[in-house]
Structure 1
């Protein structure tokens, strides 16, 4: 495949591994500038994107590119250069020699530059089922009367269940009804980065003023503000200023407010003061409906047995459903024929039969640490602080339940603790999860993350 096809294939896979908000933010206007001798040079629109991809997504990008072409051994990033490549050499990037790289035809990346909204996310294309009826109804009500009902609207649910679609549907619907409305959609990571840059440049007031006249503020993945005290403080002030003027605030997260660790109590209180609705897992019939709708959008068609096979085997992530469809569509276009069920099973074996049930102690500790906003070494210490004891017990619980590790082994893994400590931790979490809905939700969210690492 040529370099454009290679990047298109990468985007098709990456979008199902990160949130749609982050995908649209960091992969817009990117492409492969050069591919030569096992080295890929990725062009990005600015230095900030370059730094972010290098530091946060390089491992994912390299792993994906290498899976598509095992000759790729290294990935580099350059700000989109004007200079043509001559004699296979990498160009020297001049100070102002930048231009925007033509974006591949990727619908997730076609956003309105004023609002950051993607026009393809509408209520009409949002499939409603028993798993998301409440959040959809609340979102529709907000779109009819922004700022006057359910403010703030807080929607939470697992990865790939349609939170971003629903949030942006509200913004697009409000804009359709009243084009004069000022709407801003932003991921919490981009918001936090804006705060950090404004502090560095000593213009925090200028940053906040950019939000003061907004009619609808939509923040995706708010859980990433966990532990960022200064960012939380500035967001609190922006939140209050908008709320007092009856401006609509819409928030999404992968967990309810109570389960977001290291979140200021005053912010948690504000979030809980509005409408909280969760998106759960879609049932089989809804998954079939989603697949058929996606096919209709893409003007493609597959047999019912293939759709039923996908729906039966991919149960917890709508993004993965779409990813499976994209693989089959690519096959159909390349071979000018629809795949049979046997071919579909072969093409999707890495998606459906990926080693989701394989993990290890390191991944468990990593997932638990990230969820509770701790460093991995904190969990492994002998600290008796409440905010560390519980995560440590949760990690011990997962090692026993998911890995069937012996209690002596678990004890040794956590700084040589006695096996009775591991037994106590396992029994305590097991017992409390039966009576605490919040803890059970935390355990389910952490488990999902463990098998995504």
Structure 2
């Protein structure tokens, strides 16, 4: 056997013993350039793959090569080198299918969704938003289940479905996943942001085409409206949406909406609309927990062809607290920096790469409420006790610590701190701050300093 035939056979054995996603990720674009006298040279496309084969799959490769060649191996050299344009290279490429043509765990689009891509774009949908690549966790499992139920029983189950949650938590992903799934069976679908609905309505009125507008929005089996909170204060838009909503619902046509807050919390929205928004199913999408964030990062990194070690995934997940969008932003930065330098990510290099990014996120996201919750957890007292009026020593100290940290971290005014701490007077907040400041600066209270650092760790990493 020549080198290519040896490697083909070796890959065949490795494929059997490894998971499909790992096989595709790590052995694509590899080849055997030399095999003689118990010494093999395996060429790999970059330093990242080289490190992983050396550290993670070396024994697998040795065993497979020895099984295939029936020769004892004394040395394997992993060399960064690409092979261009040979026939045998093409054979190897066909043996190791790329993520685009392989049925792997990291695959985003099914054949059905690919077929529907053109149609999905016509509906205003993004074909990348599908249920298959949505990571389900404790914070979103109810909303995910409701979306699945809607697809399976359109117009009957949870009509309307109202999904709410903070920015970047996956509301639009779920909304459009419904559309992309339903698009496999019908083309009477329309996705629009509330801004688009408003602009279309205004333009229709101005051009005398109100009837055309009604035909577009009311002649569908599924209407998906993103960010309905922006209809607040727009009386004409609300009036038109009210009638559109009624006509669709009465015809058993499905309506799904998203918002950054629950219906009753949307400002300047008509009560009759709130009533209709709440008449079906209201499901919230919360912040992802640690396990969910790690799962998201792992999937996204594999999709990018740049899998990361578990300790790196944990570091990113632990330091990006707000939402999935920021998680992806951190991951993208790590990938780009290490690709440009052709280096392998380590925990140290990732810390350096994300130092500014993490600092800006933590400064932006920290709130007084989070600080108070961390104080509550550290001292094992309830939020009600912190906000209460009891003068017990074991409660007064933690209250003063909370005031001090809010002032130090957020530079909040004393009146606003007093409000956060249960409606206390600003002079009480000032006294509490000065009391802790004196202990830290003048009395050099080491025990208190350690407590403060421990509390900071709690609100920097609230999942621990």
Given the two structures, how large is their TM-score scaled by the length of structure 1? Answer: 0.55
Greater displacement, 113-122 / 230-239: 113-122
1:165 to 165, 168, 173: 173
Asked whether the equivalents of residues 143 and 170 of structure 1 are also in contact (C-alpha less than 8 Å), the reply is: yes
Q: 1:342 to 1:399 in 2, by over 3 A?
A: closer
Does 2:130 correspond to 1:122?
yes
Tell me the equivalent position of 2:219: 213
1:200 to 193, 196, 206: 206
> Offset at 1:402?
5.1
C-alpha separation between the residues in 2 aligned to 1:224 and 1:185? 16
Q: 1:399 to 1:259 in 2, by over 3 A?
A: farther
C-alpha separation between the residues in 2 aligned to 1:358 and 1:319? 15
Q: 1:183 to 1:233 in 2, by over 3 A?
A: same
Tell me the equivalent position of 2:66: none
Asked whether the equivalents of residues 418 and 424 of structure 2 are also in contact (C-alpha less than 8 Å), the reply is: no
> Offset at 1:155?
0.5
> Offset at 1:406?
3.2
Asked whether the equivalents of residues 189 and 222 of structure 2 are also in contact (C-alpha less than 8 Å), the reply is: yes
Tell me the equivalent position of 1:404: 412
Asked whether the equivalents of residues 223 and 255 of structure 1 are also in contact (C-alpha less than 8 Å), the reply is: yes
Matches within 5 A, 1:210-249: 210-249=216-255
> Offset at 1:399?
10
Tell me the equivalent position of 2:140: 132
Tell me the equivalent position of 2:287: 281
| Matched position secondary structure for 1:124 | helix
Please list the CA deviations of residues 265-289 of structure 1 after superposition, one character each: whole Å capped at 9, or x if unmatched.
1110000001000011111111100
Asked whether the equivalents of residues 212 and 238 of structure 1 are also in contact (C-alpha less than 8 Å), the reply is: yes
Tell me the equivalent position of 1:147: 155
Structure 1 vs Structure 2 CA RMSD: 2.9
| Matched position secondary structure for 1:186 | strand
Does 2:183 correspond to 1:175?
yes
C-alpha separation between the residues in 2 aligned to 1:401 and 1:306? 27
> Offset at 1:160?
0.7
Tell me the equivalent position of 1:300: 306
C-alpha separation between the residues in 2 aligned to 1:124 and 1:341? 30
Asked whether the equivalents of residues 320 and 361 of structure 2 are also in contact (C-alpha less than 8 Å), the reply is: no
C-alpha separation between the residues in 2 aligned to 1:312 and 1:400? 23
Tell me the equivalent position of 2:31: none
Q: Note the residue ranges of structure 1 that are not aligned, 5 or more in a row.
A: 1-106, 360-397, 411-421, 431-453
Asked whether the equivalents of residues 163 and 284 of structure 2 are also in contact (C-alpha less than 8 Å), the reply is: yes
Asked whether the equivalents of residues 400 and 426 of structure 1 are also in contact (C-alpha less than 8 Å), the reply is: no
C-alpha separation between the residues in 2 aligned to 1:355 and 1:314? 7
Asked whether the equivalents of residues 117 and 171 of structure 1 are also in contact (C-alpha less than 8 Å), the reply is: yes
Please list the CA deviations of residues 121-178 of structure 1 after superposition, one character each: whole Å capped at 9, or x if unmatched.
11111111111111111100001111011000000011111101111111111122x1
C-alpha separation between the residues in 1 aligned to 2:256 and 2:361? 36
Q: 1:424 to 1:325 in 2, by over 3 A?
A: closer
2:323 to 317, 333, 338: 317
> Offset at 1:332?
2.8
Asked whether the equivalents of residues 302 and 338 of structure 1 are also in contact (C-alpha less than 8 Å), the reply is: no
Q: 1:266 to 1:400 in 2, by over 3 A?
A: farther
Tell me the equivalent position of 1:74: none
| Matched position secondary structure for 2:256 | strand
C-alpha separation between the residues in 1 aligned to 2:420 and 2:301? 48
Q: Note the residue ranges of structure 2 that are not aligned, 5 or more in a row.
A: 1-108, 110-116, 366-405, 426-464
- Number of residue pairs matched? 270
Q: 1:129 to 1:429 in 2, by over 3 A?
A: farther
| Matched position secondary structure for 1:194 | helix
Greater displacement, 206-215 / 318-327: 206-215
C-alpha separation between the residues in 2 aligned to 1:253 and 1:186? 13
Tell me the equivalent position of 1:353: 359
Q: 1:233 to 1:400 in 2, by over 3 A?
A: farther
